[in-house]
Amino acid sequence: MKSLRIGGGLGFYGDSYAPALDLVLSGNVQYVAFDHLAELTLAILQKDRARDPALGFAKDLIPLMRAILPQAKEHGVRLISNAGGLNPLAAARAVAAVCHERSLDVSIGVVIGDDVADELGEVCFDPAPGGRESLAAPAFASAYLGGLPVKRALAMGADVVVTGRVADSALFLGALAHGLDWILPGERPEEDMDWDLLAAGAVAGHLLECSGQVVGGNHSADWTKVPGLDRIGYPIAEVDAAGSLEISKVAGSGGWLNFDTVREQLLYEVHDPARYHTPDVTVDLTAVEIRPRDSERVRVEGVRGQAPPKTYKVVAGVKDGYLGQGLIGYSWPHAVEKARAAERILRQQAAARGLPLDDVAAEYLGLNSLHGPLAAPGDSDEMNEVYLRMAIRTRERAQAEAFGRLFPPLALSGPPTASGFIGIDPVRELFLGRIGSVPRALVDARVRAFVRPAAAFFAGTDGRRQMEGRDEDAL
């Protein structure tokens, strides 16, 4: 029976891509998919795009492609990435530039159409935190697309596919559907769909989307026993046309696969195991069985599926003021008491200067910065050192900058033994994330997938306008 192997090459913007190169060099995969995006990442990319309209994509795509694309081309491995973020065409041009540098004959596929900022009237948003903002003019709004445009780009011959906000699992499912001749929503009526098959593919993507996490990285149980975390291997899904699924990794690489590591990733970010919604299928995980073969291979069975929602998830970002912050450390004795006194001084000085602080967060690194209010103080007087970090949100950049300037004088005019003063972090613009949904038909009408030789993308602005008008494959 026909089968294929796809690797998970990245779990977030800035993740290591060295294990992805090992996937390509292993000769054991036909595809590698790279998941760069999260809701936070889109806000970062929006800041880039605001500074330069030619940006808005995940810039780690460039060194990644320099390192991996020549080997992928040589080994016949096709690469899929959502690094396009808020500007997929710019990401495609960046890949084309790498092809030009390396003299590579590569076809690049692009998926556009997830941007729904102009369609906010059709988006139903969840209640806003605190109800404090308006969505009249969001900085960005992106729908989570499914795997069909990825499948279309691969069918048109793309060696590399660059997308915007495609759901994590859809990057993988689109490749599986292309390679295994599966039918995705939008290609046939719902009654003709094999939802169990698509659910198995979505689970394959879900297990691979966080790079080393499924093979023992970030593992909660027995983490000290996970071997070779310094050379961890990224996961591979081997899937056949009937939906049989096995997870493995590069032979001899670090990490391990067992019931616990796979179970942990299987339930990661799943609110309802009986109804895990993706753009392509609603997955039922309640009857899944995880069967370890050995320390490097696990079989996953019993995945079931139903039709997906009639809407796409949308994430939007609304400008929400500025972040000002500072960090200062105190040493034994009474380190925590000194840090608390510094917090009081900073609050009093901010009030005396009339700084309007919309939100204030204070945390004590070494005491409660990870567990917050759930942290038990313990014998805090015996702590060798503690750092006070205070962060504030203001309406104006100048107010955030003014707060940061309150920290340096504490060195000589505050509690004793102030040391480890790191300084004032640059003020950052903040975005309030909003989650909503939009009718699928509205988004599908604007989604396009098209493929061009790398040289066409490298042609520049005029070439871009020509590309947008020719031979596009609408959904």
pLDDT digits (tens, 9 = 90+) for 83-113: 999 999 999 999 999 999 999 999 999 999 9
Alpha-carbon Rg of the chain, whole angstroms? 24
Residue 299: in which H helix or E strand, if any? strand 297-301
Listed range (53-57, 266-270, 372-376) with the worst mean pLDDT: 372-376
Judged by average pLDDT, the poorest of 326-340, 341-355, 362-376 is 362-376
Domains and CATH numbers, the chain: 3-117+142-309+445-474 (no CATH), 316-432 (3.30.70)
Specify the amino acid at residue 101.
E
For residue 251, give the amino acid letter: A
CA gap 256, 229 in Å, rounded = 9
Identify residue 64 by its one-letter amino acid code. Answer: L
Indicate whether 236 pLDDT > 60: yes
DSSP 194-251: -HHHHHHHHHHHHHHTTGGGGGTTT-SSSGGG---GGGBPPEEEEEETT--EEEEE-T
The two tokens of residue 271 are 């609110």
Provide the mean pLDDT of the chain: 91
pLDDT band for position 8 (cuts 50, 70, 90):
very high
447-473: average pLDDT: 65
What does the alpha-carbon distance between residue 405 and residue 150 come to, in Å, rounded to a whole number?
49
pLDDT for residue 475 is more than 50:
no
State the average pLDDT over residues 116-126. Answer: 85
- Does residue 131 surpass a pLDDT of 70? no
For 48, which DSSP code? H
The phi, psi pair for 58, rounded to 5°, reads -75, 115
User: Hey, which residues does 236 pair with through a beta bridge?
Assistant: 7, 248
Confidence bin at 426 (pLDDT 50/70/90): confident
Q: For residue 130, what pLDDT is reported? A: 65
φ, ψ of residue 46 to 5 degrees: the values are: -65, -40
Longest dimension (CA), the chain: 75
Let me know: does 70 contact 45? Beta carbons within 8 Å.
Answer: no
Q: Give the pLDDT mean for 275-287.
A: 98
Q: Provide the pLDDT confidence category of residue 135 given band limits of 50, 70 and 90.
A: low
List, for residues 322-343, the tens digit of each pLDDT value.
999 999 999 999 999 999 999 9
Q: State residue 295's pLDDT score.
A: 81
- Cβ-in-10-Å burial (0-12, 13-18, 19+) of 332 comes to middle
Closest to 277 in 3D by CA, of 250, 310, 243: 310
Check residues 203 and 469 and name the one with the higher pLDDT.
203
pLDDT at 248: 97
423: pLDDT strictly greater than 70? no
CA–CA distance from 144 to each of 31, 114, 297, 439, 463 (Å)?
A: 21, 7, 31, 12, 28
Confidence class of residue 462 from pLDDT cuts 50, 70 and 90? Answer: very low
User: What's the rounded Cα separation, in Å, for the pair 234 and 224?
Assistant: 19
Rounded to whole angstroms, the Cα distance separating 226 from 72 reads: 29
Counting residues of the chain whose pLDDT is more than 70, the rounded percentage is 93
Tell me the pLDDT band of 79, cut-offs 50, 70 and 90: very high
Question: What pLDDT, on a 0 to 100 scale, did the predictor assign at position 396?
Answer: 94
**CA distances from residue 115 to 85, 118, 144, 453 in whole angstroms, order as listed:** 10, 8, 9, 24
Asked if residues 213 and 256 have their Cβ atoms less than 8 Å apart, the reply is no
Alpha carbon distance 186, 440 (integer Å) = 10
Better pLDDT: 169 or 465? 169
pLDDT of residue 136: 67
pTM for the model stands at: 0.92
Residue 464's pLDDT band (boundaries 50, 70, 90)?
very low
